[in-house]
Amino acid sequence: MSTARPRRLLTVCLGNHCRSPLAALILAELGGPAVEVRSAGTRDKWVGKPAHAQMMAAAAAAGYDLTAHRGVHLTPGLLDWADTVLAMDGAILTALRALADETDAPKLGLYLADRDVPDPWGKGQEVFADVVRLIEDGAPRHLP
């Protein structure tokens, strides 16, 4: 029996209101006991609040339940906790690099290797559904 601890993944977006909560949920569900996943936002506007209603609806349509999510603000402790920190877009990655110390910097990367997960905020339900599919498609590359 292995005594290795689960791989710790942290997903980060702007408000921890749309993309990063869904990414964390999908990674946790697909990764099972091999991963421990948390999410956070670089802004504190949505701390303690549920996920965006349109994201919850798009997630539910794909079989994911975001109702338990409550927003979390990114802290240095969360960066230290994580083995891998996954930014949902290039602007978030830039913000993370500004916050990270030399220990945390190598952990940082984009959730999708070659492009951003677009922020669906203020857009139609079809954009939220597209974001769900992008996050689903990107998840396997981060799992053991």
Q: What is the chain's percent helix, strand, coil content, to nearest 5?
A: 45, 15, 40
Q: What is the pLDDT of residue 144?
A: 87
End-to-end Cα separation, the chain, in angstroms: 17
pLDDT in tens, 28-42: 999 999 999 999 999
SS3 85: strand
Catalytic residues: 13, 19, 119
Low-confidence ranges of the chain (pLDDT < 50): none
- Whole-angstrom Cα distance, residue 46 to residue 17? 7
Helix 53-61 crosses helix 19-31 at what angle (to 10 degrees)? 30
70: which 2 tokens? 């409550």
What pLDDT is attached to residue 4?
A: 85
User: Residue 1: its pLDDT value, please?
Assistant: 52
- pLDDT for 2: 55
Q: Which domains does the chain have, with CATH numbers?
A: 7-142 (3.40.50.2300)
